[in-house]
Amino acid sequence: MQFVTSPLFESLPHLYHGFGMRSEEIPSGILFPKQVHGDHVEIFDIPVPLTWHEPADAVIVTCPSLPIGVKTADCLPILIAEGSGKGVAVVHAGWKGMALGILPKVLYRFVEHVGVEAEDVYLAVGPGIGACCLEVDEPVRAYFVEQGRQGDWEACVQPSRSGHWWLDLKLMAKEQAMAVGLKEGHIDVLPYCTRCEEAYFFSYRREGLAAGRQANYIVLKESEERQ
């Protein structure tokens, strides 16, 4: 599997990361949660066997050499880190997870558990469906309102045909992160739309149930690997 990377995260010396591109092969050695479009955040401070596969859509780790990942094919893969190598996190967020507030939830847990200030946290949003391709309807709007996220909704949609909207989940991720206290300069949103760029990415909206998945990962280096 080939990966694209965030230039911002490349500048952080204590981690490796990658956002997967279209490939039949899922790399081994990565801990993947069982993704359920929910808002549960799992935290590991000591290594766990790679056979772990429990329901969660976000994972935080504070130990080195435990690669964590999420598999996506339109949903946003989001990576989180801080400047001194104390922890990293990975998030799987489609519109449902964003409406449930999984991103602010994992950011607050990260700040509290890892022991950093929000202004020292970095975030990268990988390839996912863009506002160009994510047309949603009234039940989606109603779900955001039900979850108390009408403000997020209104800030991130443009009207489409009657009863439909173009939803910008990447903008929403950035706005939610800044509302938690992250600096704009610590947020990197990669430009790729999975649905537009068929040659490079799987897309659930384009390919349906048969779509493969991109594997996205982040891992803290062992301290002796850090420079």
- Tell me which residues touch Zn ion (CB under 5 A): 130, 132-133, 193, 195-196
Closest to Zn ion by CB, 133 vs 178, is 133
Name the residue nearer to Zn ion (CB basis): 133 or 179.
Answer: 133
Query: Rounded to the nearest 5 degrees, what angle is found at the Cα of 192, between the Cα atoms of 205 and 156?
Result: 75
Q: Give the nearer residue to Zn ion in terms of CB position, either 36 or 133.
A: 133
Indicate the helix (H) or strand (E) that contains 78: strand 76-82
* C-alpha distance across the termini of the chain, in Å: 27
Shortest spacing between CB 130 and Zn ion, in angstroms: 4
Dihedral sign for Cα atoms in the order 173, 216, 26, 109: negative
Closest approach of Cβ 172 to Zn ion, in Å? 16
Token pair 């596969």 in the structure block, residue = 53
Beta partners for 89?
A: 60, 80
Nearer to Zn ion, 43 or 133 (CB): 133
CB of 132 to Zn ion, least distance (A): 4
Report the distance separating Cα 39 and Cα 97, nearest Å. 6
* Beta bridge partners of residue 70, listed in sequence order: 216
Instruction: Give the amino acid at 196.
Output: C
Q: How far is the CB of 133 from Zn ion (least distance, A)?
A: 3
Both tokens of 17, joined, read: 């990361």
| Least distance between Zn ion and beta carbon 121 (Å) | 28
Residue with Cβ nearer Zn ion (99 or 193): 193
